[in-house]
Structure 1
Amino acid sequence: MVSSAVRAGFKVGIVGGGAVGTLLAYALNASGVVPYIIYRDNNKKQKRLEKGLKILIRDVARELGSDKEYRIKAHHVTYDELPEKFLDVVFIATKAYDFKDALLSVLPLLNDSCIAISCQNGLGSLEYLERMLGKERAAALILNAGVYEVDDVTYVLAGYGRSYMGQRCRDASPKLGEVAKLLHLLDVRVVKDVEGYRWLKLIVNSAINPITAILKAKNSIIIEDPLAAKLASKTVLEGWLVSKAAKINLPRNPLVELLNVAYHTRDNYSSMYQDIIKGKRTEIDYINAAIVEVGRRVGVRAVINQVLTYIIKSLEASSQSVAED
């Protein structure tokens, strides 16, 4: 069945052509949509135009090497190549620390009814989006998928579960349901209490991301190594205490969610681990450090999250130093 969004000729943009942006393009292609992947770097755009962009779909039940390859269909463009008020929907799929610049760059391209959807880990991006566009035009996609980069034009989807999308306003935009249909391949559901789902993912990420980065391991380490599992559980419990004090209603038990996510993405390398080994900045300030800050405001000391933040920042600094050398 063809979505009404496709029939209406929705023009969909994706800011950020990394792992998440590629995954979104793959899902949109399955719904008959060819998105506009928007770059600030013309060199990266040219490389994609020359070599193409592909995603490998990994069946974790089979041996490695049996991945199915899918070539992404997309319009690769820079910001200045699209007319003003062109886009009906835009996904901002950059790193959290690049979100503000990305939003300011894409703002002129959004039409007056455009829905902008943040796809970032952690806290801060949705809040800024709401301040810039208003809550009625700002949404968050809580994506539960394991995707990692092989090279500049190749990504691997190593596993995924149900994802969620919603807004923090009383009446969600009807357009949001249409967007969810376009992402049916990723099992995206529109929810009323998106804040609970944001925090659920935040708490799970606060354990999986730094621990896998520190131990230099796939997500499976969380369920295979007893000490890693213990540390992950204590990290989640601490985040849970902060969320309760902040009066956040989680939709599920985060300890159970931790195990489910670690299992379903067991063949994935977390984004934080990938950032460390590439000598890049991580999103620790938007995940663990954000939990520490909220904890400070509500009177809960998040000691484990603080220690993990210190360790990751130290690893980040040393890996960037090596990359520069």
Structure 2
Amino acid sequence: MTAPRPDSATLRAPVVLPAMPTEHEASTTYPPVELERARVASERLVFDRPDGFDRALAQGFFLVAIPEELDTTAGDLFAAHFHERRQGDGDPLDPFRGYRDTDVPGTYQGHFDREHDQWENFYIEQANWGLLPDAVAQLGHQMTDLGITVLHSLLAHLDLPERDWAEVTGGLSDYRGHHLLAFNHFRPEKAVRGSKFHRDSGWVTVLRSTDPGLLALIDGTLWAVNPEPGHFIVNFGSSLEVLTERLPHPVRANVHGVASTERAPGQAHRTSYVTFLDSSLDSTVYRYENGVPRPLQPHSEFAMQEVNRTYDDDSHL
């Protein structure tokens, strides 16, 4: 992995990471954080409590109700089976299998077997969603729409001039940028962490998870970030934290990771999937200073800086 430049304008103070607990240790040691709840109404984000938006910005996570028209069934099946071999003979789950060896055009896409983690991943950008089952691709577009609605609502809530949105988000606010589906399977037979504590590098992450085990450092304390039936978990990425860090209500991209999965033989494994929404790689990372967005760093360099620290075996971030 390439070390980040020591003079990088976006490099934050190192965080000494706690040892990743097992699921059992996590459930008995770390209390669940009270997440704010929101829903989408008339293409904007509405929180249940008057101060819910500001509390969500500070925590870095919140729950959003899954819209009625959005069916997660196909995504759930894909996350559970993408790593398996196809069975043949018209097996109804075969459309969701066989993706370990799928050749996905472009960089940093396809199947990844993580050396230091239980998770294995399948990453695929929007331009290649035609390789997925139709219902999975449709779900990806719907989760992207939801994430863009979150982004628009957030930028408006912070009173950032709409004329700046496309530039500072690298086109993401205009449905350009980088839209990535990531499917995760956690292998309990590997005696390692579930995933490293890390920050997401982009803007908005929309997570579908049904199992506890996600942990986050919030204000220096480790908390459980538990799923809620009928809701996605949304968290904010580093690009958003950098942009807003000098505003009156900065957005936190809190460090988070997954506890080591423990399963009895025959018990269903932990799975999850997300839509990552990020800037175009040819864009620029900005920070608002005195009401003006100041360019700091090429986004391609920033993304490499952030991602390289996500999958290594270092105890620092």
TM range (shorter): under 0.3
Structure 1 or 2: more helix by fraction:
1
**TM-score, normalised via structure 1 length:** 0.27
Q: Which has the higher strand share?
A: 2
Higher relative contact order by CA 8 Å / sep ≥ 6: 1 or 2?
A: 2
